[in-house]
Amino acid sequence: MSDEFDASSPDADLFEEVVGVRRAPRAAPSETSEGAQELGTRSATPLEELRREEGAVLRIPEGAVVDVGDVDVERPTDETMIINMGPQHPSTHGVLRLMLELDGETVLRTKPVIGYLHTGMEKTAEELTYVQGATNVTRMDYLSPLNNELVFSLATEALLGIDVPTRATWIRMLFSELQRISSHLMWMATNGMDLGSTSMMIYGFREREMILALFEKTTGLRMNHDYIRPGGVAADLPDGWEDDVEIICDTVLRRTYEYDELLTGQPIFRERMVGVGSITADEAIALSVTGPILRSTGVSWDLRRSMPYLEYGQLDFDVIVGTYGDNFDRYAIRLNEIRESIKLVRQIAQRVPPGDYRAQDRKVTPPPRARIDESMEALIHHFKIFTEGFRVPEGEVYVAIESPRGEIGCYLVSDGTSKPYRLHIRGPSFVNLQAVPTLMRGGLIADAVAIISSVDPVMGEVDR
């Protein structure tokens, strides 16, 4: 599409015919900069942005203004080099593109350029009913799909005002924790691969596969389950799930100690992790960072503990915090969170109560399959729920839970129909990526891969 798009041109007519709406003429270019999303050269970058990148973040809470003299705007541009990393780089965990300004091997500025995986999922959600909505949001953070479904379901239930049976709540917690283990195992695997430890890559995937096998047994799918739905969960736990959970807990826990031997004390690994990519607690809070990155700075903030949801208030677990905010702390936090989640899974498995696995509310949950054969009303209800969906009272709600990557939030607005008026997912990866320039600043280009890995971005959630 050319820059001078004219709303009266034949192109506009064609667009209207194909797309169904008349494309609005562009806003005047002087109002905003819609130009390059890329990192500009130093001379072309406004001072405010340089200030931000040069560490202004820290000083804002203190109310102090950055000393302009500290900002090296006079550096000749031919001494530095701007290079692209990604979006096709194998270690950027998807289609993340970083633009780095280098002085020799030192990284001066970093700018994440995102949007390569944008598929308009929030727009799609406005076209899907609440019944279909979970299948949409589950594809955002594809490494912890059950947490996406959980936050969407909690938001819908808050607007509906329905109660979920106790068993469903405990099943949700069980699967949320198993998902956390599998997501962290996946992170251990890819982080190992980024640092050259291919054995860790194989091990991480091997253990994760055990958990995915249980998910497949329960939900029918390894990923993108659509298992946690408004009103409860889609199916009851399969026979013998206790044994599967016990085997997973025993095996994974034993193997975390093998990872200790393989990585934690290994000099090459430590050399690349300790002291690399540091961030302070003030910076992390100011940049809205959550999850393991925030905890690595020593801030004990875990929504399961700080603002308990589901039944987490009844369980005994530790919030793992670091001290230095570096790569190694984030590694140690994730490794130990696997152990804490195993502890949680064991407690939950003993306490899953009998009962219904979804709310017995005919307006929200479909009738049991057996009832459809004998009752006309059940058939009608079934049909209505899966074609029209259920109506949700007007209102808006913001629900936040702790995903493996941090706070995943769902802002849901209902206008009283059976489709969300607006669904917004606050993706932890999207926000955490803003910390990358701070983490990278002053480091070596060779550490860039380790730092990206330690942020653990999932691009499906970043771009949505």
Partner 1 sequence: MTGSPPAPAADDVAGGAADGVAGGAADDVAGGVAGGAADDVAGGVAASSPSSFLPEVPRASGTWTDEVAFPPRSRYHELVESYKASGFEQLSDLTAVDYLTHPGRNLPPGASPERFEVVVNLLSLSLRRRARVRVQVPEDDPVLHTLWDLYPGVEAMEREVFDLFGVRFSGHPDLTRILMPEDWEGHPLRKDYGVGRVPVQFKEAPGPR
Footprint on residues 293-312 left by partner 1 (CB under 8 A):
299, 301, 306-312
Integer Cα distance of 301 and 400 in angstroms = 13
159-162 — which CB contacts under 8 Å span 24+ positions? Answer: 159/392, 159/393, 159/395, 159/396, 159/397, 159/412, 159/414, 160/230, 160/364, 160/390, 160/392, 160/393, 161/393, 162/231, 162/359, 162/361, 162/364
DSSP per residue, 92-126:
SSSS-EEEEEEETTEEEEEEEE--TT---HHHHHT
Site for partner 1 in 363-382 (CB under 8 A): 363-364
Q: Does 360 engage in binding with partner 1 (CB under 8 A)?
A: no
The 383-422 contact track toward partner 1, x by CB under 8 A, reads: --------xxxxxxxxxx------x-x-x-x-xx----xx
The distance of closest approach from Cβ of residue 337 to partner 1 in the complex, given in angstroms and rounded to an integer, is 19
When binding is defined by CB under 8 A, the residue of 71, 324, 361, 371 that contacts partner 1 is 361
Angle at 124 between CA 122 and CA 130, to 5 degrees: 90
Whose structure tokens read 């399969």?
Answer: 238
Q: How far is the CB of 286 from partner 1 (least distance, A)?
A: 5
Tell me how far, at minimum, the Cβ of 162 lies from partner 1, in Å: 5
Least distance to partner 1, CB of residue 53, Å: 10
Q: Which two tokens stand for residue 109?
A: 């500025």
Based on CB atoms, which residue is closest to partner 1, 25 or 196?
25
CB of 164 to partner 1, least distance (A): 6
For the CB of residue 184, give the shortest distance to partner 1 in the complex, in Å. Answer: 23
**Binders of partner 1: how many residues, by CB under 8 A?**
86
- Whichever of 118 and 206 has its CB closer to partner 1, that residue is 118
Cβ-in-10-Å burial (0-12, 13-18, 19+) of 101 comes to: buried
Q: Is 14 left (phi over 0), alpha (psi -120 to 50) or beta?
A: alpha
Residue from 13, 70, 105, 127 touching partner 1 (CB under 8 A): that is 127
How many CA within 13 A on the CB side of residue 380? 3
- Single residue of 104, 123, 209, 242 touching partner 1 by CB under 8 A: 123
Pick the binder of partner 1 from 1, 28, 370, 376 (CB under 8 A). Answer: 1
Which class for 353: exposed (0-12), middle (13-18), buried (19 or more C-beta within 10 A)?
Answer: exposed
How far is residue 428 from each of residues 209, 334, 402, 406, measured CA to CA in Å? 24, 15, 9, 5
Question: How near is the Cβ of 20 to partner 1 at its closest, in Å?
Answer: 5
Within 155-184, which residues bind partner 1 (CB under 8 A)?
Answer: 157-164, 169
Looking at residue 137, its amino acid is: V
Closer residue to partner 1 (CB): 259 or 317 = 317
Residues 93-112 that bind partner 1 (CB under 8 A): none
From the CB of 366, what's the least distance to partner 1, in Å? 16
Of 17 and 243, CB closest to partner 1 = 17
Among 5, 142, 205, 324, binds partner 1 (CB under 8 A): 5
> 132-152 burial by CB neighbour count: b if 16+ within 10 A, else e?
bbbebbbbbbbbbbbbbbbbb
Residues 230-289 that bind partner 1 (CB under 8 A): 285-289
Restricted to residues 8-67, the positions that interact with partner 1 (CB under 8 A) are 18-21, 23-24, 26-27, 31-37, 46, 48-49, 52, 56-57, 60
